[in-house]
Amino acid sequence: MTSAGIVLRVHLHGAQREEEDLAIFDTGATWSVLNSRIADALHLIGEPGEETIAISTRLGTFMGELIRLGLTLPTDDGEVVSLEVPFLVCEDWYAPTFLGYQGLMDRLAFAVDPSDDTFHFGIAGEAP
Portion of the chain with pLDDT greater than 90, in percent: 67
Are residues 120 and 6 in contact, defined by beta-carbon separation less than 8 angstroms?
A: no
Q: Is residue 121 part of a domain?
A: no
Q: Is residue 64 part of a domain?
A: yes
Structural domains in the chain (count)? 1
For residue 83, what is the domain's CATH number? 2.40.70.10
Q: Is residue 124 part of a domain?
A: no
User: How many other C-beta atoms are found inside a 10 Å radius of the C-beta of residue 66?
Assistant: 17
In whole angstroms, how far apart are CA 104 and each of 3, 60, 68, 73? 22, 23, 11, 11
pLDDT of residue 93: 94
Q: What is the pTM of this model?
A: 0.88
Q: Is residue 63 part of a domain?
A: yes
Q: Is residue 122 part of a domain?
A: no
- Residue 51: exposure state from Cβ atoms within 10 A (0-12, 13-18, ≥19): exposed
pLDDT band at 67 (very low <50, low <70, confident <90, very high): very high
Which structural domain range is residue 27 located in?
A: 6-116
